[in-house]
Structure 1
Amino acid sequence: MTDEIQTSAEVHEASALPCARVVHTAPDAPKTVELMPLPEAIAAESIEEKSPAQWAYERLILYINNFEEQLDDEHEVAMGFTGGDVGVLRIEGIGYFAPDIVTFYGRDEEEARTQLIQHVSQLNVMLRALPKASEVDEPRRIGFRLAADLDRK
């Protein structure tokens, strides 16, 4: 075993790198967030400097953006809830309130305005593809808007 001496810059850079891994059964599985480099806006701040809510929020943005990139023009991203038969929410917005709250805004299957306020320790999100809303010509995409907002930090 060799001990490697790191500069303070290397230690800081390593602290911002995520520890992630993914394995799929299919060799042609779609690209996954776990294997992508972090965007500069996220990597610029170390994990230790972020609240659990901010870190969860930023990673959710990456997952949603990646999920939407794989959808056709007839589908939009929605979020399924775990722990009960409460349906799904078409994601129209996501926010966080440090240190530990993540909030989802959208509409349910009956188009009723819906908001989920979730503690990060209870965070379970299932992304689903739903047919786009009938009243819109183009599918509504939130992932790129969320990712663009990260770049404005």
Structure 2
Amino acid sequence: MPKNRYLIATALCCVIAAVAHLGCIVFGGDWYRFFGAGEQMAVLAEQGDPHPTIVTSVIVTVLLLWALFALSGAGVIRRLPLLRTALCVISAIFLLRGLAFVALMPLFPGNSLTFWLVSSAICLVIGLLYAVGTVQAWRQLRPV
């Protein structure tokens, strides 16, 4: 089975995003500010509060798990359980996050408009890559 370039690209995007989030944990407040996570997260990180690290660590873990599902769907690593379902759900989450940012903005008032526009565009692109890759691989992804 040829490797699915779209799903490989999504895995790479997820790994890059995870590394950027790890940078926030390692380099602290300035990185949280640069990526637009909000002044509150930046200040908490600078004060040594565990909240930013915990939240960001969860995001890193999820992104790396999603990268594994993309690689599995692409045929690069062994087939993971519930692969079709996972790829559909991951695609939907990224697409929803990319499209619904206007509704989410009031829930996170500390995040900058730049953060919302850039992160939403990135999520939309990743969601589209996941969706296209999933559709292309659908027949090969059927349960065995």
Q: Report which of the two structures shows the higher radius of gyration computed on alpha carbons.
A: 1
Higher relative helix content: 2
Higher relative strand content: 1
